[in-house]
Chains A and B, each alone.
Chain A
């Protein structure tokens, strides 16, 4: 999956990829004071195109709000919700709106799920539907944080650590390994990294083609930008 950290006040963005063995579960958000945890499990392509490397995507997300006793499991097939022992099952194939005491859900058929946790956060999960007979690819999910301002200062995780900004500086551009792109030095979190100017796609408006977001790409699974390394964020279960 590709991660994008947009910083509109700087009119810039950071991006990195995390690739690991399909089936691995990563922690994206952990905020002990609010009791919110978001984990995601990655999946691979059906088949690797010869000569290409394996790409991974998120196939399942687990969202927990301990304070309200809410657990949400979102996969490419279904959406399972449990709140204080009550269970409900939603499908991606119908539009559905659920307004609860502590959580609102809105499913847009075959497209997206918006999750609003009362007095805290709002997430958007996008379903990327792939033609079933596609020989290489399969359905996958995207996860977008729409509102994060009520998270505590302790919030962490692969995405959560950036919710309160990040300090960085970028030097002059210079030719990189890839003749089509330019590199620069980035100074961030006490590290000096070689980063590459590129772009990633934001699929919120156009789920099919996305919108290009220019960004500084941090190589090696975000090493140097992330606190620790990406494997530090591996967890044993979705919840």
Chain B
């Protein structure tokens, strides 16, 4: 059976220690827009990268992906579309 292709979006979840300012600076440095904290998950931020394809079966490449090299960036996850069905 065809394996289900993952659909990558141009949104990222990032965990950055040090507070919102630090997060803002890192976002700017790599070309992301910091959309703010994710709910009430401390140190977790929603980054948006407008120049990445909105939906792709390939995870995104490019300079912005070097963000994961930043020491303050503890964790990063490019968001994948999940199939969710109403009951």
The answer to whether A and B interact is no
A residues near B (Cβ < 8 Å) are none
B residues near A (Cβ < 8 Å) are none
